[in-house]
Structure 1
Amino acid sequence: MSIENTLRSRSDNKCELCSSTENLIAYPLPHSPDETANCAVLLCSTCSDQIQGATEFELKHWRCLNDAMWSTVPAVQVLAYRLLHKCNAEAWAQDALDMLYMDDEIKAWADAGVADDREPTLDVNGVALAAGDSVTIIKDLDVKGANFTAKRGTPVRNIGLSENPLHIEGKVNGQRIVIIAAYTKKN
């Protein structure tokens, strides 16, 4: 049986990420231990095109990862993990990553494909920040559109990174705001 036929049988002819039934293709995961169906996922053209960069990456579409990440298929877990990392500027994606559990071997496979080819986000001291870190605001910041000032010394826990390496996201006074990374210090 071919890889695609094996995947179609395993997934009941549905995209293993968003459950679409149209235009399905086999997608072999990069950085996989082998080239069998165990290291491939059946995807619809929408998911495949966005993953491969043929179309714009639409964060709204990837809410389907909240369900896909619970798959019992390791390849689906790995791809969901990698895509959640790509969406890590979104609070829902960070929450999903916090809940996701994988065996050590599968997590190592997933981490092998997490691309970190963008510039690092640095705090005031030049220390690299990562999603989930805690920082302290080092100067009073007027928050546009929120009618409050984020005071110096305010802790911000479980930060998110944005597409812009100069910015982070975090909750201050119960609101998720964008903060200039250079105005923070890693705890």
Structure 2
Amino acid sequence: MSIVKELQSRSGGVCELCGGSDGLTDFEVAPSDGSSETSVCICSTCRAQIENPDSMDENHFNCLNDSMWSEIPAVKVLTFRLLSLLNRQDLMDMMYLEEIERAWAESGIGSKSSVVHKDSNGVVLQAGDTVVIIKDLEVKGAGFTAKRGTAVRNISLVHDDAEHIEGRVNGTKIFILTKFLKKS
């Protein structure tokens, strides 16, 4: 049986990421040995977005909320990598990966950028940290002011920009300049 047929049989004839059925093909999760164990059945929409990460549609990949619970290691590894690309640390933290699966997943994530995020005191910030806002900040487009002393928990780092982090204030996801934050 060919790998494509084997994967389609395993997936029930749908994409193992989003459940779509258009243009199903196999996708090897590197490093791959070319078997169905290291491959995933994906649709043409998922493939196009994976191959062009700059044009990824985060809304399409809301499906990763479901695929992250797959029993198939290759699906979990690919989901972990996509969540990493989308900066979805909240979902990555909820995923359960065996040690060998986590090593496989992290081996395929490109080297972390050399961008270092520092707060107003020069303390290095990491994804998942809690920070405190040190100045009242008007949030443009949201219609509220983030007050001084507000704690922002479980922050995400903006990979290409050392001056910004991403976090939730009053339930709204916003970008905040690191010069207005201190690590708590």
Fold match by TM threshold 0.5: yes
CA–CA separation in structure 2 for the residues paired with 1:45 and 1:118: 29
TM-score by length of 1: 0.84
Residue 180, structure 1, aligned to residue 174, structure 2: no
CA–CA separation in structure 2 for the residues paired with 1:45 and 1:143: 38
Q: Which amino acid aligns with 1:112?
A: S
Q: Which residue number in structure 1 is paired with residue 39 of structure 2?
A: 40
Q: Is 2:115–2:160's contact at 8 Å kept on the other side of the alignment?
A: no
CA shift, 1:115, in A, is 2.6
CA shift, 1:2, in A, is 2.3
**Aligned CA distance change for structure 1 residues 79 and 146 (closer, same or farther; 3 Å):** same
Aligned ranges 1:135-146 → 2 under 5 Å:
135-144=131-140, 145-146=142-143
> Tell me, which stretches of 5 or more residues in structure 2 are unaligned?
none
TM-score by length of 2: 0.85
**Aligned CA distance change for structure 1 residues 54 and 164 (closer, same or farther; 3 Å):** closer
**Aligned CA distance change for structure 1 residues 3 and 55 (closer, same or farther; 3 Å):** farther
Residue 31, structure 1, aligned to residue 31, structure 2: yes
CA–CA separation in structure 2 for the residues paired with 1:44 and 1:141: 43
SS at the partner of 1:77?
helix
Q: Which residue number in structure 2 is paired with residue 130 of structure 1?
A: 126
> Tell me, which stretches of 5 or more residues in structure 1 are unaligned?
none
CA–CA separation in structure 2 for the residues paired with 1:174 and 1:27: 37
Q: Which residue number in structure 2 is paired with residue 51 of structure 1?
A: 50
Q: Which residue number in structure 2 is paired with residue 4 of structure 1?
A: 4
SS at the partner of 1:26?
strand
Q: Which residue number in structure 2 is paired with residue 17 of structure 1?
A: 17
Q: Is 1:31–1:113's contact at 8 Å kept on the other side of the alignment?
A: yes
Q: Which of 110, 114, 121 is residue 109 of structure 2 equivalent to? A: 114
Q: Is 1:136–1:156's contact at 8 Å kept on the other side of the alignment?
A: yes
Cα shift readout 1:123-151 (whole Å, capped 9, x = no counterpart)? 23555533322222233322224232431
**Aligned CA distance change for structure 1 residues 126 and 119 (closer, same or farther; 3 Å):** farther
**Aligned CA distance change for structure 1 residues 175 and 22 (closer, same or farther; 3 Å):** closer
Q: Which of 144, 151, 154 is residue 150 of structure 2 equivalent to? A: 154
Equivalent pairs, count: 181
Q: Which amino acid aligns with 1:139?
A: K
Q: Quote the sequence identity (%).
A: 44
Cα shift readout 1:10-66 (whole Å, capped 9, x = no counterpart)? 11221110111121111111234x332111111111101110118821111001111
CA shift, 1:164, in A, is 5.1
Q: Which amino acid aligns with 2:35?
A: T
